């Protein structure tokens, strides 16, 4: 079955571990590509390629500051990921909250017997 | 490239179509496990606050079925159909979860229960057949959740990013 192109889908884009490393680094602020590549132990061309993919799915943006081009997070692309994680995870976090208090009741009842 | 770091990652085969949620419960493993095995227990906690369930049939055994309707706080009913594919008391439960028998969109969930001192760690790993089916199923859960405000840590983190992004 054909997969959605990596360059058009944020979920596929973040399935690649090095691209997740880049996103994690950019949480802390903006980086020029050469420093980013050095920090993550990858070649500059490879970092550039990953950054291009991340820009195309709207997860990363670039701006020029003087002679430098600084890469930073573009939160708009994270929205679909936020939505699917939020819904499912929240549902189960809520269920497990209730499980926890229910099991505490069970524990006390059993201890009282 | 750090090979060791690479090797420590989740298996690439399912990493982009699975969700792993873990939670510690302050109770012995046998008791936590028991809460998953009987409908009189499950009906007390399945779904977040405000949700209730009506069970049509329930048989907790290998290949047994839990056929039920989940009622959302806004009155919406959701048909649910679960069959157990592995039961190892009190360690592990695997199940197939869909809306009805033979639901092509059903997903698999493996729950493991590990003792950790006086508490029990539950790890819930859900694997969807394809990325598209994951998105469909999760869209449903997002709809079920509605505007609930209790954010998980990841959701809270991403919310913060969205807010920071909007301020630029």
A38, A100, A101: best mutation site toward chain B, by most B Cβ within 10 Å?
A100
Distance between CA atoms of B35 and B38, rounded to whole angstroms? 7
Q: How many CB atoms lie within 10 A of CB B158?
A: 20
In the structure, what pLDDT confidence band is assigned to residue A86 with cuts at 50, 70 and 90?
A: low
Per-residue pLDDT tens digits for B39-72: 999 999 998 888 889 999 999 999 999 999 998 8
Chain A residues near residue B152 by CB distance under 8 angstroms: 85-86, 89-90, 93
Domain boundaries, chain B: 15-163
A91, A106, A110: best mutation site toward chain B, by most B Cβ within 10 Å?
A91
Q: What is the ipTM of this complex?
A: 0.74
**Inter-chain contact B143–A86, Cβ cutoff 8 Å?**
no
Chain A residues near residue B145 by CB distance under 8 angstroms: 86-87, 90-91
User: Are B61 and B93 contacting, i.e. CB atoms less than 8 angstroms apart?
Assistant: no
In the structure, what pLDDT confidence band is assigned to residue B160 with cuts at 50, 70 and 90?
A: low
Q: What is the pLDDT of residue A93?
A: 85
Q: Which residues contact A63 (CB under 8 A, 6 or more apart)?
A: A30, A69, A70, A72
Query: Closest partner residue to B155 among A4, A85, A97, by Cβ?
Result: A85
Q: What is the 3-state secondary structure (H, E, C) of chain B?
A: CCHHHHHCCCCCCCHHHEEEEEEEECCCHHHHHHCCCCHHHHHHHCCCCCCEEEEEEECCCCCCEEEEEEECCCCCEEEEEEEEEEEECCCEEEEEEECCCCCCCCEEEEEEEEEECCEEEEEEEEECCCHHHHHHHHHHHHHHHCCCCCCCHHHHHHHHHHHHHHHC
Residue A91 to residues A109, B42, B103, B144, Cα–Cα distance (Å): 27, 15, 21, 8
Chain A residues near residue B31 by CB distance under 8 angstroms: 103, 106-107, 110
User: Are A98 and B48 contacting, i.e. CB atoms less than 8 angstroms apart?
Assistant: yes
Residue B57 CA to its chain's centroid (Å):
20
**Inter-chain contact B131–A4, Cβ cutoff 8 Å?**
yes
Chain A residues near residue B27 by CB distance under 8 angstroms: 103-104, 106-107
Q: What is the pTM of this model?
A: 0.62
Chain B residues near residue A37 by CB distance under 8 angstroms: none
Residue window 9-28, chain B: list those with CB within 8 Å of chain A: 9, 12, 15-16, 19, 21, 23, 25-28
Could you write out the DSSP letters of every residue in A46-78?
Answer: HHHHHHHHHHHTTSEEEEEETTEEEEEE-GGGG
Local structure of A32: helix, strand or coil = strand
Q: What is the pLDDT of residue A76?
A: 72
pLDDT at B158 over 60: no
Distance between CA atoms of A45 and A89, rounded to whole angstroms? 36
Query: Closest partner residue to B49 among A94, A104, A107, by Cβ?
Result: A94
Q: Which residues contact B142 (CB under 8 A, 6 or more apart)?
A: A83, A84, A86, A87, A88
pLDDT at A47 over 70: yes
Residue B5 to residues A72, A97, B1, B93, Cα–Cα distance (Å): 24, 33, 9, 30
Quick one: fold of B15-163?
Alpha-D-Glucose-1,6-Bisphosphate; Chain A, domain 4 (3.30.530)
DSSP 8-state symbol, A89? H
Distance between CA atoms of A41 and B3, rounded to whole angstroms? 11
Span A53-59, mean pLDDT?
91
**Inter-chain contact B48–A104, Cβ cutoff 8 Å?**
no
């Amino acid at each position: 079955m054909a997969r959605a192109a990596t360059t058009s889908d944020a979920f596929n884009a973040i399935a690649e571990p090095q691209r997740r490393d880049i996103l994690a680094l950019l949480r802390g602020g903006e980086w020029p590509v050469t420093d980013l590549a050095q920090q993550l132990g990858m070649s500059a061309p490879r970092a550039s390629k990953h950054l291009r993919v991340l820009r195309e799915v709207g997860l990363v943006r670039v701006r020029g500051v003087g002679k430098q081009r600084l890469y930073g997070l573009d939160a708009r692309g994270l929205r679909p990921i936020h939505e699917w994680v939020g819904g499912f995870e929240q549902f189960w976090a809520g269920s497990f909250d209730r499980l926890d208090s229910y099991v505490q009741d069970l524990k006390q009842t059993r201890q009282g017997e | 490239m750090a090979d060791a770091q690479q090797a420590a990652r989740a298996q690439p085969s399912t990493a982009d179509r699975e969700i792993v949620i873990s939670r510690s419960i302050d109770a012995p493993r046998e008791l936590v496990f028991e809460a998953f095995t009987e409908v009189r227990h499950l009906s007390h906690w399945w779904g977040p606050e405000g949700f209730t369930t009506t069970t049509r049939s329930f048989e907790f055994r290998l290949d047994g079925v839990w056929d039920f309707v989940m009622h959302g706080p806004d009155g919406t009913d959701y048909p649910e159909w679960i069959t157990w594919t592995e039961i190892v008391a009190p360690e592990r439960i695997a199940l197939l979860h869909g809306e009805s028998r033979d639901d092509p969109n059903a997903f698999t969930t493996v729950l493991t229960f590990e003792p950790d001192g006086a508490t029990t760690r539950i790890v819930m790993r859900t694997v969807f057949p394809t990325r598209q089916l994951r998105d469909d199923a999760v869209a449903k859960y997002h709809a079920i959740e509605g505007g609930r405000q209790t954010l998980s840590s990841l959701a809270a983190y991403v919310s913060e990013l969205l807010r920071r992004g909007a301020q630029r």
